[in-house]
Each structure stands twice: as C-alpha cells, then as structure tokens.
Structure 1
Amino acid sequence: MPEGNVTSVKNFVIVGFPGLHSNYYGLVSAVMLFVYVCILLGNGIFLTLFVREQKLHKPMYYIIINLVACDVLFSTTTLPKIIARYWFNDGVISFLGCFIQMYFVHYFASVNAFILAVMAFDRYVAVCNPLRYTNIVKDSTIMILCFASWLIAKPCVLMLAIRAYPLPYCAANKIVQCYCDHVAITKLACTDRTPYGFPAFVSAMVVLLMPLAFILFSYFAIMMAVLQISTAQGRLKTLSTCSSQLIIIALFFLPRCFNYMAPYVGISFNADMQILTIMLYSLLPPMINPLIYCLRTKEVKEVLAKNLARSTFLQVMKKRVDVSVICN
C-alpha cells in the first residue's frame, strides 16, 4: 500500500508475552511490580546517600548519579504500562503515547551507553595517568561529559521517532513486546519497512558500538597498564578499583550484543524467549546496579554503614535489646 494519510489505528495494544497463559498474569505482574519497587528503592537509597554525604561528591559518583537517573526513568517509562496490562488487563496505549514511549525507551538506553563510556574514561585516566587524574577528571569535566551524553543521544533517537510516526498504520495494532519500541511498531506499518528498518538498525549499532568501542579500547589500555605493575598485589589492587564499573558495563552490553548477534550465528528464539531476554537485559541492570554501587565501592559502603548505624529504627532496636539483656 502506498504511503499517505491512511493511518486508521487510533490505539495500540501491548501484548507482552504472546504465549503466556492468563493464569499466570497475576504472577507476572507481581514480579514486575517487585522489580520496579526494587529499582526505585535501590536507586533511591543511593541518591539519598549522595545528596546527604559531601564525601560522595566526586567525579565517579556524578557519573553513577547519571546512571541512576537513566535507570529510574527507563523503568518508569516501561514498567507501569506492562504491569497494568497483566494486572488490570489494560494493555491499550494511545497512538501518540506509544511513540512517546518508544522515544524515551531508546533515548534512555542510548544515554546509558554513553554514560558508561564516560565511566570507562574515568577509569582509564585513573589507572593509566594516575598522577594527572585530579587535573584531567574534574567535577566540571565529568558534568560536561555527562551533559554531552544526554545531548548526543537525542538526535539519533528523535530521527527514529520522526521517521516512524508518519508511516501508514491501518491494520494490526497489537505490539508483541512489553513496551513500544521501534521494531515492534514499524512492523505494524502498512508499507515496506525496509527503507526505515535498515537506517534504524544502523543508527542503533552506531549508538551501541561507538561507546562500546571506546570502552573496549579503555579497558585494553587499562589491562596493558596493569600488566606492567611489578607485584601481583599491586595488580589486584588496581583491578579492584575497576571491578564494579566493569560489572556494570558487562551487564549492559553483553546481553545486548548477544541478542543482536544471535541471528547471525544461527541462534534463534521464539517470541516469548526473545522478549524475556530483552526484559532481562533492560531491567536487570537497573535492579542490580545499586547493589554494586553500595557493596563493591568502599566509600559508599562506609557511608551506608554510618547512616544505618545512626538510623532511628536501629537505635530503637538496640535499646530494646539492651533493656531485655538488663532485665534478664
């Protein structure tokens, strides 16, 4: 069908997992709600610690705050609607609302990739140029780089939305995905999506592979610098300063690369498994990252322990234990 003003679809319906039996809708919505609460709680705790403790106002933690913002915003963009779909059987989303969600889904994911590249830059300078670290990696430098990450991600994603929105949508309106994304939406267009799908794929690869290439270069240089350290203890100590960042980066990039490359190496999934894979690499990092920040970073662990020690709840519990001991 030729393009033109033939769009008759007024709403889209988010299907989620097409093979999921209705008996499990309540369980799936409860799991997703639990994930969402964990994301908000974990990232909220780190944000509270950052605001309250001047000790954490350092370049590395400014980078993490940007990741926190990305994780919370991405989860808030995607999870409430799919929870409503399974909890209240309300999967309907307006035509415009679906494209707005699509824009933010891809935007926050792109920003996250660029912020991780900034994180790799921080570790590269810390390990390869430690004497110049304070001169190169200043608060202002990191703020500019993070701001640039939010800015650079915008044009590519905006172009995806602008090119997809005017396509003629005149038949099917069921999105076999847990949220509106570019591939799921443009598949429903009543026209050949090749002229739109291929540029979108190239754009996605650029946004994904540019930061990844820089990250790989940075960590290759870091490994070369670590190997030049004479003692095993020194090498382990240096690597430990990068471990938490490396875990965060791996959680974000490895599953995505696997999902993109699987069809080219002969690995195929059914629709439910593919959607599950996408949801895992989309939502697992936002849920796990706060644990990595808090449990694998010495300064954050100290700040968290201090705040827990002086919390009202723990003080009340301690007094009760002391009273019970005295009475016995």
Structure 2
Amino acid sequence: MKSTSYKLPGNQSSIDEFILLGFSNFNTKIQFFLFPLFLFIYIFTVLGNFTIITVATLDSLLHTPMYYFLRNLSFLEMCYITVTLPKLLHTFVAKKKTISFYGCCIQLFCFFTLGATECFILTVMAYDRFVAICNPLRYFSVMSKATCLKMAAVSWFCGFVISLGHAVSIFSLPYCGPNIINHFFCDIPPVLKLACTDVSSNDTAVTITGVLLLMFPFFLVLYSYGRIIAAIMRISTNKGRKKVFSTCASHFMSFALFYGTAGFTYVRVKINAAAYSDNDKMLSLLYSVVTPLLNPLIYSLRNEEVKGGLKKLIRQKILEKKDVFFPY
C-alpha cells in the first residue's frame, strides 16, 4: 500500500492520512464471517448498555449511588465501542481503508479518554461498595448526591486532561511514512511506531501513565475488596454472606475483565520493543469490544434489582398498550 503525503514548509514531508490494516490480512472467508459477527456485537452492546441506563433512570428504586455510577459505566461502554467498531466494520467493506490524520488523532484521544475515565469510575464504584458494606449506617451521608456528582465529574475531567496531553504530544511528532497502522483503530503503540523521530520520551510517558492509571486504581480496588471480604467473613450466616457478596460480584467481574486485559496490553512491554503484532490486535479486542459486550450481561443476568426493574418497565409498557387498545 502506498503512503499518501503532502509537503510542509521546508524539506520535511508529512502524511495526511493513515491506512488501518484491521483484519484485512486475514483469510477472505474469515473476514466474511467477522463482519456480521462484529455488527451483531456492536448492536447488542449499544442496546444492552442503553437498556441498563434506561432501567436505572426510570425505576425510582434504582436511584442510588451504585446505579448512578453504573449508568456512567454503561454510557462509557456505549461510547467506547462506538469509537472503534464502526470504523472496523468500514474496513471490511471499503476499498480505501483510510482514516485522516486528524480523524486518527480524535479517535485516539476519545478512546484513551474513555479508557482512563473507566479506570476511575471502576475505582469509585469499588469505594461505593466499600462504604455500603463496611459503613452501612453512614452510606447515604458519605455517598450523597453531591459527592457522587463530584466523583463522576472528576473521573471524566481527569480522563480528558490525561488523554489530551498524550494526544497533543503524539500527534505533534513528525510522520513522514510509512502510514500503515497494523491495527483496527488508532491506538498509541502502533501509531507511535510510525513516527519519524525518537519516541523514547513518549514511550516513557505512556508507560508511566499506564502504571498510574491501571496499577494505582488497581491497588485501591484491591484494598477496598480486602476490607469488604473481611467484613463479609464477620457475618455469621452463609445466607447473609451470600447476599452481601452478591451486591459487589458484578462490579468485581467488570473490574477483573477490564484491568486484566488493558493492564496486560499497556504495562507488559515497552512500545519500541517489537512490532505491533496480530496477537496484540486480538488482545485489544478483549478490552475494547468484549468487555463492553459482557458488561450488560453481567449487570442484567447477575443483578436481581436490574432484572426486577426491567420486568417492571416491560409490564408498564404492556399495560399502557392495553389501555390504548382497551380503554374500558
């Protein structure tokens, strides 16, 4: 594939678009199977997370701090998969598998913002469960509406600021070719591979950010769950233990999925150690596609309150339709 470039002032040249390789190097039959699969995943993920947001918003019994943060998480997952999957679907059907320079910058910025914000939201959700189980009498005073709003706002703001800094520094580098990104979206490691300069400082910055974003919240969440488990073990009955543990089981599964895959990708190696491989692309699918897909299942199938709220909402809609057709 040929690089597309334009001339900048002076002798320096720079590309104005990137080619997203995606899964175009896969067998044609496999690609034919992957397109409907990813399309189904995208539709199911958006509808699933939208359903959770709708149920948690309309059911007054779910107007609690836990479900406020769950609405934030579901919205994040909807945006997260929307940033990457439509462009991936486009690469399956389009002859020109390109993304503009600024489009790539925006995609990387949005993806990193959402990922960083999710790290903070998952940490806040762990703190919410810690207060609910370890200090139940002070729960609603500690996790007041104002406090929840501030926690969510700070999470989004920190994700935005951190990502903005990386996006500006990465796309201020010279890119003079080649312009082929061996990935299905503009992620930091494969984009930095194409820079026509030394990226060791960017490499170090990404590694430090990865450690701070993943490891520091990771240990905070582990500390919270350590205290939660200690509190659960003090409960005398098995039924009581099971009931309390069920309130944080869904969050722990989401936490393990996201941190397990994203942490392994961003902290395990230096960016300039080796070329971005197909194995890395497959691993990226886990935290960018599979995790948003599984979250609606985790919070709907394992959560009795969400299932109860959904059934109530469906019953209300059925009764409304009956009133329309049979008003007397």
Q: Cα 1:269–1:161, aligned 2, differ >3 Å: closer, same or farther? A: closer
Q: Deviations over 1:202-225 (max 9, x none)?
A: 112211122212111100111111
**CA 1:48/1:104 → structure 2, altered by over 3 Å: closer, same or farther?**
same
After TM superposition, give the deviation of residue 117 of structure 1 in Å: 0.5
Given the two structures, how large is their TM-score scaled by the length of structure 2? 0.88
What code does the residue aligned with 1:54 have?
S
Question: What's the offset of the Cα at 1:310?
Answer: 4.2
Superposed, 1:190-209 pairs within 5 Å as 190-209=196-215
Partner of 1:147: 153
TM-score when scaled to structure 1? 0.88
2:166 alignment partner, one of 153, 157, 160: 160
Contact between 2:207 and 2:267, CA under 8 Å: does it hold in 1? no
Residue in structure 2 matched with residue 20 of structure 1 by the alignment? 26
Distance in 1, matches of 2:234 and 2:318, equals 49
1:37 aligns with 2:9: no
Amino acid at match of 2:264: F
Q: In the alignment, which residue of structure 2 is the partner of 1:322?
A: none
Q: Is the 2:182–2:276 Cα contact (8 Å) retained in structure 1?
A: no
Q: CA deviation at 1:23?
A: 3.3
Is the 1:6–1:169 Cα contact (8 Å) retained in structure 2?
A: no
Q: Is the 8 A contact 1:18 1:272 kept in 2?
A: no
The Cα of 1:168 is off from its aligned counterpart by 1.0
Write the distance in 2 (CA, Å) between the matches of 1:189 and 1:66.
Answer: 35
Of 249, 254, 263, 1:248 maps to 254
Question: Equivalent residue for 2:217?
Answer: 211
Could you report, residue by residue, the CA deviation over 1:39-94 in whole angstroms, capped at 9, with x for unpaired residues? 11101111222332222221111101111111111111111111000122342100
Change (3 A) 1:134 1:73: same
Aligned equivalents of 1:28, 1:52: Cα separation in 2: 36
Return the alpha-carbon distance in structure 2 between the equivalents of residues 6 and 55 of structure 1: 61
Structure 2, gaps ≥5 residues long: 1-9
1:23-172 correspondence to structure 2 within 5 Å? 23-172=29-178
Question: Counterpart of 1:326?
Answer: none
Matched residue SS, 1:170: coil
Do residues 236 (structure 1) and 242 (structure 2) align? yes
CA contact (8 A) 1:15 1:91 kept: yes
Maintained 8 Å contact 1:110/1:207: yes
CA–CA distance in structure 2, aligned partners of residues 73 and 154 of structure 1: 14
Match of 2:14, SS?
coil
> What is the distance in 2 between the residues matched to 1:89 and 1:28?
17
Alpha-carbon distance in structure 2 between the residues aligned to 1:82 and 1:90: 12
Whole-angstrom CA distance in 1 between matches of 2:302 and 2:242: 14
* CA drift at 1:187: 0.6
8 A Cα contact 1:18 1:176, kept in partner: no
Q: Retained in 2: the 8 A contact 1:50–1:57?
A: yes
Instruction: Quote the offset at 1:38 in angstroms.
Output: 0.7
Which amino acid is 2:174 matched to? P
1:274 aligns with 2:297: no
RMSD across aligned C-alpha pairs, in angstroms?
2.4
May I ask how many residue pairs the two structures share in their alignment?
311
Q: What amino acid is the match of 1:137?
A: M
> Distance in 1 between the 2:50 and 2:151 partners?
23
User: What is aligned with 1:292?
Assistant: 298
Q: Take 1:269 and 1:7, find their aligned partners in 2: how far apart are those partners?
A: 24
Deviation at 1:36, TM superposition (A): 0.6
Note the alpha carbon deviations across 1:179-206, whole angstroms, 9 max, x for none.
0011111110111211211111111221
Shift of 1:160: 0.7
What is the SS of the residue equivalent to 1:8? Answer: strand
Aligned partner (choices 172, 177, 181) of residue 183 of structure 2: 177
Q: 2:183 aligns to what SS in structure 1?
A: coil
Query: Which residue identity is paired with 2:80?
Result: F
* Structure 1: 5+ residue stretches without partners: 320-328
- C-alpha distance in 1, partners of 2:38/2:259? 22
